[in-house]
Amino acid sequence: MQKNIADILPVAGVVPVLVIEHQEDALPLAEALLEGGLRVLEVTLRTATALEAVERIAGHLPEVQIGTGTVLNSDDLRRSVDAGASFVVSPGVTERLLVAAQDCDVPLLPGAASVSEVMRLFERGYCYQKFFPAQAAGGVPMLKSIAGPLAEVRFCPTGGISPDNAADYLALDNVVCVGGSWMAPSALVREKNWAEITRLAKQAAALKT
């Protein structure tokens, strides 16, 4: 079921969650993050240029594991695969999305926010799950509680993760990586301040050592 997601997430540490508005920003942004030590990236499908950005990054930076986020349905899944995504991430799941993912060569990181959701996904074979929205859904205390009865599940928390709390999440045994956008804020991308993004990426990469 999980295919190679177990090879992708553990090496990530911190996964930049990117909203790319302009195609020309895709490569320099990815290169800046890679230079900072972050080589697993997620581009959210929230903009018209997202899939083109994924295709460009996948085609020019083979050392980067590029995934898509905000995957809501089978069409998003298919288009992500066609663009060259290494993995896909959903904020939650539907039965149709899970069925589509079964026949997909690219692994899905499904989202869960409650114990029941985690259990249902684990029953389907998903040992790696996105915990979203992390802070609003209970944060570190919630994940500590889940670790007891569901010790085999590993999480990538996103939603409210920042430099102030990322290390607290990464210290948990059931957290394999975290996702966040603080190392590539929209203001720096608009300014094309790739050097500052690289500096922030280096700080983020150092959180899991």
Q: Which two tokens stand for residue 165?
A: 């709390």
Other C-beta atoms lying within 10 Å of the C-beta of residue 3: 14
Catalytic residue check, 42: yes
Q: Residues 95, 130, 202, 208: which is the catalytic one?
A: 130
Q: Residues 21, 24, 42, 52: which is the catalytic one?
A: 42
Catalytic residue check, 152: no
Indicate the length of the chain as a whole number: 209
Residue 115, CA distances (Å) to 12, 62, 76, 112, 131 in order: 25, 36, 26, 8, 10
Phi-psi map region of 158: left, alpha, beta (phi>0 left; psi -120 to 50 alpha) = beta
Nearest to 68 by CA among 82, 59, 139: 82
The set of catalytic residues is 42, 130
